[in-house]
Amino acid sequence: MASTSPPPIDIPHQLDRDQLLDLYRYLRLTRGLEERLVSLHRQSKVVGGLFRSLGQEGESVASAFALNRRADGTGDILSPLIRNLGSMLVMGAKPVQVLRQYMAKGDSPTGGKELNIHFTSFQHGYLGQISSLGDLVPIMTGVTLTFKLRGEPRVGMVYVGDGATSTGAFHEGVNFAAVQRCPLVTIIENNGYAYSTPYHKQTAATALVEKAAGYGIPGVQVDGNDVLAVYGAVRAAVDRARAGGGTSMIEVMTYRRKGHAEHDAQPYQPPDEIDKWATTNDPIDRFVAVLRENGWADDPQLEPIDARVEQELDAAVSEAEASPLPDPEDTLSDVYAGETARPHWTRQVPPNPRFV
């Protein structure tokens, strides 16, 4: 008997069904990994702060998916922020690495010396973030200028928040990239709040992407919770940069549904505002709806992915919890480049005080 269901609609942006399912997997992996981190944080197994991307996973995953991803150090490069865990997973970071990092384990990427996602893999193409927001823009400008001078067909992508657009580093970096026509894509994540400061209290601009005109570069604003719209906008900017067209700016409109970190009770965000974004504009829910409505995927394709993600995260948590804590003798290692002799720990005993 012939099927009565409508034929699937063509997939946009030259994506195929396998790539759509891959996007879905990264979305689920990002949210699931952060949920495991929340559980570990509540058990006091996470050292330091925990920063969530709840509600913003779509733009991180989709934007990184538009890059040329390689594991041999020859692909594109991105620099994430604290809410861009999804972009790092797309580029090749492993969940167990992230867990070890947050738990300050001795076999974490930074050996327990740094926390959350402040780590780099030149092989996979991501740079560790800098806590001084906006400072990575001039750094990525330098990275992409190197690509241009060497004649390498590579592109860089840098994420900044809405608050970081008010910094001098942002201005200097974007301006220099524009003048030098560096192959750089600057993504402004407008999630409504710079820590606790609402958008309208830190800028008079009606749209942050309007700043692009001042630098003489193209800019576009896109719905950050529409996975395919973000992918399409970033892919166009990446292709333009790779072809020698210079830098671009993309403002992704999204919403931060958690506080700045888990310790932030976010009293400055109206509860009904949070609920509205959670119930009507969740990026994963919207992507699943698009997959189903267009006949690209349904439960028989999605449920096995969910199961595999859960298995992967279960194994990663078990492995990370079993990892050793740092050896105190390694505290002074990797402070300077190259092999440096490490002195033994000694207790400095002050001399007896003398009173005159």
Phi/psi of residue 203, nearest 5 degrees:
-155, 150
Look at residue 339 in the predicted model and tell me its pLDDT.
59
* pTM: predicted TM-score of the whole model, two decimal places: 0.91
Distance CA 255, CA 277 (A): 7
Q: What's the maximum distance between 2 C-alpha atoms anywhere in the chain?
A: 106
pLDDT in tens, 312-340: 999 999 999 999 999 888 877 777 766 55
Strand partners, 223: 253
Residue 54 pLDDT exceeds 50: yes
Distance CA 238, CA 66 (A): 7
Residue 159 pLDDT exceeds 70: yes
Residue 354 pLDDT exceeds 80: no
Distance CA 170, CA 135 (A): 7
pLDDT in tens, 213-234: 999 999 999 999 999 999 999 9
Residue 356 pLDDT exceeds 60: no
Reference 51, options 158, 164, 131; nearest CA is 131
Look at residue 256 in the predicted model and tell me its pLDDT.
94
Give Cβ neighbours of residue 143 (< 8 Å, ≥ 6 apart). 77, 127, 156
Reference 19, options 73, 62, 58; nearest CA is 62
Class of domain 17-322: alpha beta
Distance CA 64, CA 284 (A): 16
Look at residue 181 in the predicted model and tell me its pLDDT.
98
Look at residue 353 in the predicted model and tell me its pLDDT.
58
Per the listing, tokens 């026509």 go with: 181
Between 116 and 296, whose confidence is greater? Answer: 296
- Burial code (b: 16+ CB inside 10 Å, e: under 16) for 179-195 equals ebbbbbbbbbbbbbbbe
Distance CA 356, CA 351 (A): 15
Distance CA 78, CA 157 (A): 5
233 neighbors 220 (Cβ within 8 angstroms): yes
